Structure 1
Amino acid sequence: MPSKNMLPKGQRRRTVRPEYVATRGAEEAAAPLPVPVLDLEDDTEAEAGIRTFTADPAATNLRLDQYLAQAIPDISRARVQLLIENAQVRVDGHTAKPKQRLHGGESIEIEGSPQPAPLHAIPEDIPLDIIHEDQHLAVINKPAGMMVHAGSGATEDARNRGTLVNALLFHLNKLSDVGGDLRPGIVHRLDKLTSGLILVAKDDVTHRKLGDMFSQRQVAKTYLALVHGHLAKDDTTVNLPIARDLIRRTRMTTRRADGRTAVSHVHVLERISARLTTPFIPFTLVEVRIETGRTHQIRVHMQSLGHPVVGDTLYGAPHIIPGLAPELQLERNFLHAAHLSFTHPQTHKPMDLAAPLPVELESFLQAIRANSRGVE
């Protein structure tokens, strides 16, 4: 079979030396640089309503709307274009146009939130497992599958319903306004497919005090997780920065040097080994105490160790566990916020709260124990 590098038939006596000499030493065109994600949440100018940053060299030859949509993955390109058309974006001090080409290094200003105006969340009669409630705050045991609040692009439809905030507004009535109309009372968050304890504030003063406590790492958060494989050490501390994955924007990664500090302390509770006669793979039940609260922190840290959380297909876990009955397969992550301890910001009393594993996780754990050849 002729080589794909051979000249066409009839031209094989022709020499390619002139082309070779002309291109010798020339480098192939470099691949476009990935566009770094902007971390606008921590921008100190955000409160003033103007965010200023410098266009990255990776923006060279990109349209302004294209660059901003990649650099701010939480909003759509259509929303970026709307901001530009409303004269809310300036480049080097001048009103910008969506098709404007960048060279890298320009000063870009965004006036106002880069997200659609928040909606008023709607109270809904959704059952809540309230672990603690007083006049200042409440602690809720959130089920897996429930979002904490609607996304910033939600409208008055199903996407703005069924969230924890909707339920809170119905049961608690008054919540703090610090988080805005779409996130009243929300001091911290849990992923949709993660269950467990979440702390909410009823008034603005309590909200700000709790926010300071989280920032100063004065709230102890402990999770239970089942991961794939056996961890070699009983105790491991993962101290790897976390940033958004530039290739798969729904994921976070520990492989970027410009990530935000993240610390997780992992303690082995139980190692569950596979039977030799079944396709089960080994598991490890761990307790994870986090010092920081980055997006997907435990999930991405466990993946970095080569031990993804069971059920977490986004970070490499299998969709099903071979040999396990269909009704016992998980449709969520085996990750549960089991323990929360802090000093009450108003009464100054110690708070120590716990939530047991949900039924579906306990059933799954018992099933794999029953199919194991013992635990360690």
Structure 2
Amino acid sequence: MEKFTFNVSEEEKGERIDKLITSYESDWSRSQVQTWIKDENIQVNGAAVKGNYKASVGDEIEVTVPEPEELEIVAEDLNLDIVYEDADVLVVNKPRGMVVHPAPGHPSGTLVNGLMHQVKDLSGINGVVRPGIVHRIDKDTSGLLMVAKNDKAHESLVKQLQAKTVNRRYTAIVHGNIQHDVGTIDAPIGRDKQDRQKMTITDENSRDAVTHFRVLERYQKFTYVECQLETGRTHQIRVHMKYIDHPVAGDPKYGPRRKSLPIDGQALHAGVLGFRHPVTEEWLEFSCPIPEDIERLLKRLRQD
């Protein structure tokens, strides 16, 4: 079992406990949290509460996440956008809002469920729940992922990620005007002690993280940037952009609490992915256009 502790802020007072907890972690569904409340896996200031409890400033909320049940992965026809596929590897364009693999609260509708329907073979290194998955992007980030179809390919792709030779470029709309045309953010990332569902810049229990960026366009209150990952830490671009006071627009975890632009999730897209083929060693590079909702935002910002 995992335990998470949260402290209620001034902005969060008066929120229903079930709604508040789901805002801490996007992978937790409202119905799942309500079940945990009934089972007394959620306590406030050391005591069990009812689902309609309204939070007060300073409340300490402790969430005990029970051991996940063994999941049966069901193949689903999700009409995935497979950009490239051969006998060893495939590249898929994941839509925003789709979780990469099944987890408590998301047993179906994930990228893995769709892959099980569309792809004959997937590597087994990551087990039953994450077949073929070499790396992930966040639920509310869209874009390209490479998937291994056998264990040999999986091992090769993982080594390339570790060696920092994979080309991963993202585009993002961020708050404010970035003054420098190009830059590098070199700041270690670790788990946030105050909020275990977040990552933060810290020297304690952290790992090196490097993001290179260049400005594509500037608007009145926003900047359109391209970010290139040198490392691949959890939430790296989102944490690094917040660190330099330019959080990603629409980011529910690291951005302003008040919604800034009409988009469901962060305006972040993994648009370019390049790597060496795990068998032929040929360099492969793929790109996919930004989703329509980000394109609409850019048009609006240009007009404004």
**Conserved 8 A contact 1:189-1:198:** yes
**Corresponding residue for residue 353 of structure 1:** 286
Equivalent residues of 1:252, 1:295 under 8 A apart = yes
Amino acid at match of 1:148: V
Indicate the RMSD between aligned Cα atoms, in angstroms.
2.5
The aligned residue for residue 250 of structure 2 is 311
Find out whether 1:247 has 2:186 as its counterpart.
Answer: no
Contact kept, 8 Å, 2:123 with 2:150, in 1: the verdict is: yes
Partner secondary structure for residue 298 of structure 1: helix
Partner of 1:210: 157
1:4 paired residue number: none
Runs of 4+ with deviation above 2 angstroms: 68-71, 114-120, 255-258, 316-321
Q: What does 1:68-87 align with in structure 2 at a 5 Å threshold? A: 69=3
CA deviations over 1:103-150 (Å, ceiling 9, x no partner): xxxxxxxxxxx9646523210010111110111111000000000011
| Aligned positions of 1:1-376 closer than 5 A | 69=3, 116=68, 118-151=70-103, 153=104, 159-273=106-220, 282-321=221-260, 329-371=262-304
> In 1, are the aligned partners of 2:160 and 2:166 still within 8 Å (CA)?
yes
Contact 1:267 1:286 in 2 (8 A): yes
Give the letter aligned to residue 320 of structure 1. K
Q: d(CA) in 2 for partners of 1:364 and 1:216?
A: 36
Distance 2:257 2:270 in 1: 22
Query: Does the 8 Å contact 2:214/2:225 carry over to 1?
Result: yes
Take 1:365 and 1:310, find their aligned partners in 2: how far apart are those partners? 12
Checking the alignment, whether the CA contact within 8 Å between 1:219 and 1:341 is kept in structure 2 is: yes
Q: CA deviation at 1:319?
A: 3.7
CA distance in 1, matches of 2:289, 2:240: 23
Mind listing any 5+ residue stretches in structure 1 that lack a counterpart? 1-64, 80-113, 274-281, 372-376
Q: Is the 8 A contact 1:210 1:345 kept in 2?
A: yes
Q: Which has the higher strand share?
A: 2
CA distance in 1, matches of 2:171, 2:223: 11
Instruction: Determine helix, strand or coil for the equivalent of 1:205.
Output: helix
Aligned residues: 250
Aligned equivalents of 2:175 and 2:234: distance in 1?
Answer: 21
TM-score (norm 1): 0.63
Offset at residue 348 of structure 1 (A): 1.4
8 Å Cα contact 1:241-1:262 kept in structure 2: yes
Higher relative contact order (CA 8 A, sep 6+): 2
SS at match of 2:299: helix
Tell me the distance in 1 between the aligned counterparts of 2:272 and 2:233.
Answer: 18
Q: Contact conserved, 2:4 with 2:196, CA < 8 A, in 1?
A: no
Percent identity of equivalent pairs:
43
The one-letter code matched in structure 2 to 1:284 is T
Aligned-pair CA distance for 1:355: 0.7
> Structure 1 residues 320 and 116 mapped into 2: Cα distance closer, same or farther (>3 Å)?
closer
Indicate the structure (1 or 2) with the bigger Cα radius of gyration. 1
Q: For residues 226 and 131 of structure 1, what CA distance do their matches in structure 2 show?
A: 24
Structure 1 140/248 Cα, relative in aligned 2: closer, same or farther at 3 Å?
Answer: same
1:320 positional shift:
2.9
Tell me, what secondary structure is at the counterpart of 1:185? coil
- After superposition, the Cα gap between the structure-2 partners of 1:319 and 1:168, relative to the gap in structure 1 and judged at 3 Å, is farther
- Partner of 1:69, secondary structure, is strand
Mapped contact 2:249–2:255 kept (Cα < 8 A): no
Deviations 1:345-370 (A, max 9, x none): 11111101001000111011101111
> Residues 216 and 203 from structure 1, CA distance in 2 versus in 1: closer, same or farther, beyond 3 angstroms?
same
Gaps of 5+ in 2: 6-24, 28-35, 37-65
Structure 1 partner of 2:46? none
SS in 1 for 2:3: helix
Matches of 2:4 and 2:117, distance apart in 1: 37
Q: Cα distance, 1:313 vs. partner? A: 2.5
Q: Report the counterpart of residue 102 of structure 1 in structure 2.
A: none
Cα distance in 2 between the residues matched to 1:312 and 1:256: 24
The CA distance in 2 between the partners of 1:293 and 1:120, in whole Å, is 29
- 1:142-170 per-residue CA deviation (whole Å, 9 max, x = no partner) reads 0000000112x46xxxx210000000000
